[in-house]
Amino acid sequence: MIAVLAGLALAAGAEVVVVEDWTQPLLGARGIPTGWRPYETIGGRPAYDFTVVESDGRRALLLKSHDDHSTIARELHVDLRATPILEWSWKAVQLPAGGDIRRKETSDLTAHIYVIWPRFPAMVRSRLIGYVWDAAAPVQTVEKSRKTGSVHFFVLRSGPGELGRWLTERRNVLEDYRRVFGEDPEDPRALALSIDTNDTHSEAEALIGRIAFLSAGAPR
């Protein structure tokens, strides 16, 4: 339903296309939220330790990981040229001990977001941009995944200094795609949320709030 409403809002020329605000799933609902589906990833066993909660007056998805790798996705209907800015809020509670995306054997992350351009076969040719909070890699690091060359990570936050605080991010997905893939993108078709600790055999926890695409001139 949210995706349909988002499409109607976009057709009407709205500046904000809401992908998810967590108002449809019931508070306290556990597992895969309404409107989302499992998303296949390389390695790890999914646990889907997810719960819709209210945190500091806002609805959010609480994601936890205990030596597992869980990813969910939903369809995306956005015109990237009209609304290129991805905005979301998040609060990291715990980072995976020893996590570092720059090394294959430690490529674990607390909750993060992927924008996806599906291609076949999906595990080899789909293109993904991941916006992450890494335990060690410096902010502004842009790193191709050590596990699959189809994923490029943008490190937006690093280390424990801002744990426990709600933070809002904005990224120009159109520009980020051009930077890492060297060409103009088609419109993305899916958005995914992921959390993983299976490489470091550790734990992680974070919350993700509202997710939306905005026009370039949308006010903050």
User: Which residues, other chains included, contact 8 with Cβ-Cβ below 8 Å and sequence gap of 6+?
Assistant: none
The mean per-residue pLDDT over the stretch 164-185 comes to 98
Residue 3 has pLDDT above 70, yes or no: no
Question: Is 148 strand, coil or helix?
Answer: coil
The mean per-residue pLDDT over the stretch 186-207 comes to 97
Confidence of residue 22 (pLDDT cuts 50, 70, 90): very high
Q: What CATH number has the domain spanning 2-214?
A: 2.60.120
User: How many angstroms separate the Cα of 24 from the Cα of each of 13, 18, 27, 165?
Assistant: 24, 13, 9, 24
Strands 37-38 and 69-75: antiparallel
Indicate the average pLDDT of the chain: 91
Alpha-carbon gap, residue 153 to 159, rounded angstroms:
16
How many alpha carbons lie under 13 Å from residue 122 in its C-beta half-sphere?
9
Spatial contact of 156 and 168, defined as CB atoms under 8 Å apart: no
* pTM of the entire predicted model: 0.91
Out of 4-8, 52-56, 127-131, 168-172, least confident range: 4-8
pLDDT tens readout for residues 45-102: 799 999 999 999 999 999 999 999 999 999 999 999 999 999 999 999 999 999 999 9
Residue 94 φ then ψ, to 5°: -145, 135
Task: Give per-residue burial for 137-163: e unless 16+ CB within 10 Å, then b.
Answer: beeebebebbeeebbbbbbbbbeeeeb
Instruction: Tell how far CA 104 is from the center of its chain.
Output: 20
